[in-house]
A and B are shown apart, each in its own frame.
Chain A
Amino acid sequence: MTKHDTTLARAGDTDIRVMRAGEGPTLVLLHGSTGASSWLPFMARLAERYTVIVPEHPGFGGSTPPDWLDNIHDLAYFYLDFFRDQGLEDIHLVGQSLGGWLAAEIAVRNTSRLKSLTLVGAAGLRVPGVEQMDPFLCTDEERIRGFFHDQAMAERTIARLAEVEDEDISLANRFTVARLSWSPRGHDPHLYKWLHRIDVPTLLVWGDHDRMFPLSHGEEYARRIPGSRLAVIGECGHIPTVEKPEEFCRELSAFIDATEV
């Protein structure tokens, strides 16, 4: 597995932890509600071809939520500062779930440092009539089962939970997730109005059995973002990066390589 290093990086007056590995085009991955506490196999796979940068959002991983962090818009502006302060350009921005919503909020504001955008099982929209799991009204175990289509994989994740999980960190992560997404639940009612502003190549990756933000959310993003393409991954739940890493990486690489030509 590609070796990664972890450093602290600063934007404004806020330090965040950043995992980094690989060489090649810059790929920034914005994590979802469970944080970015470990270097996952799909990251290592991508680091064989790209410079993979995984920042941990302020308020995650046990860091004290900054006073300025009230909503997803604050976080979007923070990352625009972060990209500038770190001198990142031609970024292939990839966000999953909460991080997908964040990536969309960043992109409607400013795409000047983005080369492409990929949203994976992204939050951010409300699709009328579509039933979603309430991630705040279930146990940790129920939530994990809700993430996966393959329930055997869910059970293995649950079994590992006690050994790998730091309770302080996971509870602090839940705090920040609630701060950003409690109400309106997991979306910004005004985001859809501005998705047409996204003027970089956009890929949407969705599991066909996503119960958190079902496929209709991907279809809605596809309708709203000009020229975007929706790639549906079969037999897959909310987290294609973990449940179907090979398929996910294949889709993403093909997309990124096409934009690099």
Chain B
Amino acid sequence: MQFFNMHLMPYADVDLEAIRDHGTAWVTFSNRHYDPVKGADLYNRYLDELEYADEMGFDGVVVNEHHQTPYGLMPTPGVLAGALARSVKRGKVAVLGRALPLVNNPLTIAEEFAIIDNLTRGRMIAGFVRGIGAEYHAMGINPTESLERFNEAHELIMQAWTRPGPFVYSGKHYQFNYVNPWPTPYQKPHPPIWTPSQGSSQTIRWAAQNRYTYCQTLSPIATVAKFFDMYREEARKAGYEAAPDQLAWSNTIYVAESDERAMREARPHMEAMINGFFKMPVEMLLPPGYTNVESLKRIRAAKVIGKAQTLDDLVKSGVVIIGSPETVREKLEEYQDLAGFNTSITKTQFGTMPTEMARDNITAVATEVIPHFRDRLPRPVDNKEAVNA
């Protein structure tokens, strides 16, 4: 299994009380709460952590995009990826991803990714996402056009990377008389493309059809397994068997010497992340048209959004793995076999976690977990049960 180290770059110094009073840390939570002196320290500290993960043997580092929130301070992730392009010497640099529908000129993303791919001499991984619902409030983009814009921007970027320019592009949302970006990508025909999603069936089908790596974000492992099955099924419909490398689980791992200590240390930071930084009302997360009516009804009926969760809930449902090295290895093996993935996108810092803890965690994952999985592939669960019986 390959391991990527992912950072959300939260504003860890945030006033959690202020978020609680306001009700959400997104879109309307005032940036009066942002102190650039603290922010400057955080950006440098987080880049150091990612560089450390690279040194310690992770296969790559991951940044992503969110807007107008202390949840993640990377509205333009290419800037951070650019900084990492020079300092991450071994691993890949992945931007997972840029939210294509949010820009009015997707050519800027083709250009930005091509620069990173050149800078890293072909170590760039390109992520294409639609962005979560809140970004459509933050960026003023019509969520009912999200899918159309995504598809068109994707087509434009792929053409910009693979067709010699200049050429004309004329779409419904984007029109150019001259598509002719300098530079073009270092990797040919283009950087690997990964698509993180919360589990939209449309996105899963689309990723499988295009043979793009699918990354499942923030979900219980049983749900992850269900979505990965869906991907494999869509791949078969498209006429091929999906490789485990095409499936990436985006998780959070925290390792300490004992289960009890790991839980105690992780708890405040994870609960701050899930109940503070991530908190938003359903109308912010799911604006009209962002999902189809069926998914929207299902999510509304489940009434899970906004409900406070404890670390124990998250551990129990397998959203995160927290524990001693042995526990973490066992759980990860079990989950790898259950869901059949071969890529782990792992957050080692979350919420308010200070840097010493985050770095110790990187060390522990790199030395106690990664080596164990280096050559391990998912084993079909049916066989395992047969063995146990």
Instruction: Map CB proximity to A onto B121-150 as digits: 1 under 8 Å, 0 otherwise.
Output: 000000000000000110011111100000
B164 at the interface (CB under 8 A from A): no
Q: How many residues of B contact A (CB 8 A)?
A: 20
A138 at the interface (CB under 8 A from B): yes
Residues of A within 8 A of B293 (CB): 168, 171-172, 175
Instruction: Map CB proximity to A onto B100-133 as digits: 1 under 8 Å, 0 otherwise.
Output: 0000000000000000000000000000000000
B75 at the interface (CB under 8 A from A): no
Instruction: Map CB proximity to B onto A170-182 as digits: 1 under 8 Å, 0 otherwise.
Output: 0110110111001
Q: What is the CA–CA distance of A174 and B144 in the complex, to the nearest angstrom?
A: 10
Residues of A within 8 A of B281 (CB): 139
Let me know if A171 and B283 touch, CB within 8 A. no
For window 122-162 of A, CB contacts with B under 8 Å fall at: 136-139
Let me know if B143 and A137 touch, CB within 8 A. no
Partner of A178, one of B27, B140, B142, B284: B142
A167 at the interface (CB under 8 A from B): yes
Let me know if A182 and B144 touch, CB within 8 A. yes
Q: What is the CA–CA distance of A135 and B352 in the complex, to the nearest angstrom?
A: 33
Given the known inter-chain contacts A136-B137, A137-B28, A167-B297, please indicate yes or no for A178 contacting B289, CB distance below 8 A. yes
Partner of B288, one of A167, A168, A171, A185: A171
Give the bracket for the number of chain A residues in contact with chain B: 10 to 19
Q: What is the CA–CA distance of A139 and B137 in the complex, to the nearest angstrom?
A: 15
A261 to chain B, nearest CB (A): 45
B146 to chain A, nearest CB (A): 10
B287 at the interface (CB under 8 A from A): yes
A38 at the interface (CB under 8 A from B): no
Residues of A within 8 A of B300 (CB): 167
Let me know if B288 and A174 touch, CB within 8 A. yes
Partner of B140, one of A168, A177, A179, A183: A183
Let me know if B283 and A182 touch, CB within 8 A. no
For window 275-312 of B, CB contacts with A under 8 Å fall at: 281, 283-284, 287-289, 293, 296-297, 300
A74 to chain B, nearest CB (A): 13
Let me know if B142 and A137 touch, CB within 8 A. no
Partner of A138, one of B140, B283, B297: B283
Residues of A within 8 A of B143 (CB): 178, 182
Residues of B within 8 A of A138 (CB): 283
User: Which residue from chain B places its CB closest to the CB of A177 in the assembled complex?
Assistant: B288
Let me know if B297 and A178 touch, CB within 8 A. no
Q: What is the CA–CA distance of A175 and B297 in the complex, to the nearest angstrom?
A: 13
Q: What is the CA–CA distance of A178 and B146 in the complex, to the nearest angstrom?
A: 12
Let me know if A183 and B141 touch, CB within 8 A. yes
**Which 10 pairs from chain A and chain B are nearest by CB?**
A178-B288, A174-B288, A182-B142, A179-B144, A175-B288, A183-B140, A171-B293, A175-B289, A178-B144, A183-B142
On B, residues with C-beta under 8 Å from A are 27-28, 136-137, 140-145, 281, 283-284, 287-289, 293, 296-297, 300
20 A-B residue contacts at CB 8 Å?
Answer: A136-B283, A136-B288, A137-B27, A137-B284, A167-B297, A171-B293, A171-B296, A172-B293, A174-B288, A175-B144, A175-B288, A175-B289, A178-B143, A178-B144, A179-B289, A182-B136, A182-B143, A182-B287, A183-B140, A183-B142
